[in-house]
């Protein structure tokens, strides 16, 4: 399907996704979305009625595309170390392809935490039940076997995800302060992180 053949709804959706991700809900403008989609404002409301409903459609889709990736690896039967290794590499790669998504999700979730409730029973619930519980069991087994040091699975999962996501959320300050604003240095930093974070975490929990 070429750009010209896309349905108007898709045009609007993609334009809105860009605008909302760049500016956030409060900063986004319906006029700007219409401009990006090369249509007029009235048509936005014809398809999605309100800005809020349009935003909801975007947020749900982005969230549902982004979160389940966590599961693909977490619920596999591979050994814990392998799981972690594969997760980190694929997750950082995923974020590198969509570097503004984490800030977008976290900021909008903070603006309206109740949004999570609407996602429960759907993605959030699945992440917890099929993803985290499974991960949690695997961690506790390894602790019992003595292959990793004692650690709460909740602390470990937050450490893993935080180490993957933080460099993107904190990009302006990292690139600005640590790398003197040099984009290339920052990009190299990200690239080498895929292996560095894995090494770091394995070191932190492995019993040697």
| Closest to 147 (Cα-Cα) out of 84, 56, 54 | 84
Paired strand residues for 148: 206
**Residue 98 touches its own copies, criterion: CB under 8 A:** no
Contact 90, 73 (CB under 8 A): yes
Which residue from 8, 31, 122, 155 is in contact with its own copies, where contact means CB under 8 A?
155
Look at residue 154 and give the partner it binds from its own copies, DNA, none, a contact being a CB closer than 5 to 8 Å depending on partner kind: its own copies
**Residue 57 touches DNA, criterion: CB under 7 A:** no
* Alpha-carbon gap, residue 107 to 67, rounded angstroms: 15
What minimum distance in Å lies between the beta carbon of 59 and DNA?
15
Contact 169, 106 (CB under 8 A): yes
User: Which region, judged by CB under 7 A, interacts with DNA, from 50-58, 80-88, 98-106, 166-174?
Assistant: 50-58
* Alpha-carbon gap, residue 8 to 167, rounded angstroms: 36
What minimum distance in Å lies between the beta carbon of 112 and its own copies?
9
User: Which region, judged by CB under 8 A, interacts with its own copies, from 9-17, 37-45, 78-86, 177-185?
Assistant: 177-185
| Closest to 161 (Cα-Cα) out of 84, 55, 58, 56 | 84
Look at residue 151 and give the partner it binds from its own copies, DNA, none, a contact being a CB closer than 5 to 8 Å depending on partner kind: its own copies
**Residue 196 touches its own copies, criterion: CB under 8 A:** yes
What minimum distance in Å lies between the beta carbon of 140 and DNA?
48
**Residue 146 touches its own copies, criterion: CB under 8 A:** no
Q: 3-state class of 68 per DSSP?
A: coil
């Amino acid at each position: 399907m070429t750009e010209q053949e896309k349905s108007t709804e898709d045009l609007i959706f993609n334009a809105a996704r860009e605008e909302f991700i760049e500016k956030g809900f409060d900063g986004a403008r319906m006029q700007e979305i219409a401009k990006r989609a090369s249509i007029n404002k009235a048509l936005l409301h014809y398809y999605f009625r309100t800005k809020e409903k349009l935003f909801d459609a975007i947020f749900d889709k982005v969230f549902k595309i982004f979160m389940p990736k966590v599961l693909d690896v977490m619920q596999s039967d591979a050994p814990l170390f392998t799981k972690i290794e594969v997760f980190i590499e694929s997750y950082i790669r995923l974020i590198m392809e969509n570097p503004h998504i984490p800030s977008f999700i976290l900021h909008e979730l903070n603006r309206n935490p109740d949004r999570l409730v609407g996602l429960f029973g759907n993605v959030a619930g699945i992440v917890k039940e099929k993803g985290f519980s499974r991960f949690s069991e695997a961690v506790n087994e390894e602790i019992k076997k003595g292959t990793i040091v004692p650690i709460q699975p909740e602390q470990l999962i937050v450490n893993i995800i935080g180490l993957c996501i933080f460099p993107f959320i904190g990009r302006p300050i990292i690139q600005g302060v640590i790398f003197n604003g040099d984009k290339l240095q920052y990009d190299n930093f990200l690239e080498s992180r895929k292996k560095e974070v894995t090494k770091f975490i394995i070191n932190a929990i492995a019993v040697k």
